[in-house]
Amino acid sequence: MTSAALAWLCLFLLTPAAPPRPLEPPQAAPTAPQQSAAPRVRLLATGGTISNRVGGRLTAEELIKSVPGLERYARAEAEQFANTASSALTLRQWIELARRINALFTQDPGLAGIVVTSGTDTLEETAYFLNLTIKSDKPVVVVGSMRNPSTLGYEGAANLLQGFRVAADPAARGKGVLVVLNDEINAAREVTKTDALRLQTFQTRGYGLLGVVDDDRVAFYRSVVQRHTSAAEFDVSRFEELPRVDIVLVYQGASGDVIKALVDQGAKGIVIASAGAGATSGSQGDGIRYAVEKKVFVVTSTRTGSGRIAARRREPAADAPPAYRIAAEDLAPLKARILLMLALTRTQDGNEIQRMFTEY
């Protein structure tokens, strides 16, 4: 080995080794993006069978707590509007309920939707009134139950869950007030209670469901084209009470004295639940003439459960002043009464009222 090589070898051996580099800390695994919070949905409880437990009615908070898995779909908020049988709700409470819902949507833009509990006996009436008086496209869903919480097979929690799911779903916007029971979605305008006891009681005869609520998603299949909610012209902030409107059923031998008595007691409108496509019975034609002579509006509907009474058709007592004779189109008598009450808060013009029955 040469002297130069020997010198380099000595220098290498005598040079201290560099300290080992510290190990870098392990990189944290990337975090999965957080899911957005579930939509906020407010429950306005009014009572009804869905809360009518033996020993005391369930509150709005208790109703929410009874629904397992609700947090997956909505952040539920509770508000106790009333807690009574649906038949005990007054027309004044209808107005207050509509005002409350309108105020919630106006004051709380982040609220995704509202669920309203109702007794099933008058559920379709409450829902249709809200359908004509709510000033928002956001979902309002009315639910109830046929069995009470103390009964085996109580379906209230399931109906509440499905109602919250629909109210939280963006696809429900703009479809008007909806009725959700038995995993089915019906329009407030069209739905009716068809059976006193069965769970599948709420149906839309002739037109069918708007959609269904299944495990995977809320599925809509059609919409209602008649005016409703934000497109409606009725304003509950402008009146404190609804004009009196009564319903008279047509049956064989029915007397017109009933119609006259209602007029004399202050009715501003009468809805005739006619046989078939407008037929009356007994002396009801005389009663109708008496009503229109007193400037009481008479709306002809049908008791059959479906079908249309067309405007300008010739009906019994057609010689009566036409300005006070209105055709209900396809509205059932219960719904025709609600529309006439609201129409009378805006106008006394028969042509305008007929327009409303055509558009709503």
Kindly list the catalytic residues: 49
Taking each helix axis as running N to C, give the angle between helix 284-293 and helix 257-264, from 0 to 180 degrees, rounded to the nearest 10.
20
Taking each helix axis as running N to C, give the angle between helix 123-133 and helix 91-107, from 0 to 180 degrees, rounded to the nearest 10.
50
Which DSSP symbol is given to 36? Answer: P
Cα 126 to Cα 94: distance, rounded to the nearest angstrom: 7
Cα 262 to Cα 337: distance, rounded to the nearest angstrom: 14
CA distances for 25 relative to 10, 19, 22, 28, 71, angstroms = 37, 18, 9, 9, 38
Helix (H) or strand (E) holding 269: strand 269-274
Q: How far from the centroid of its chain's Cα atoms is residue 114's Cα?
A: 9
* Among candidate residues 85, 35, 20, 338, the one with its CA nearest the CA of residue 189: 338
* Among candidate residues 315, 325, 316, 271, the one with its CA nearest the CA of residue 293: 325
* Helix/strand number for the chain, H first, E second: 9, 14
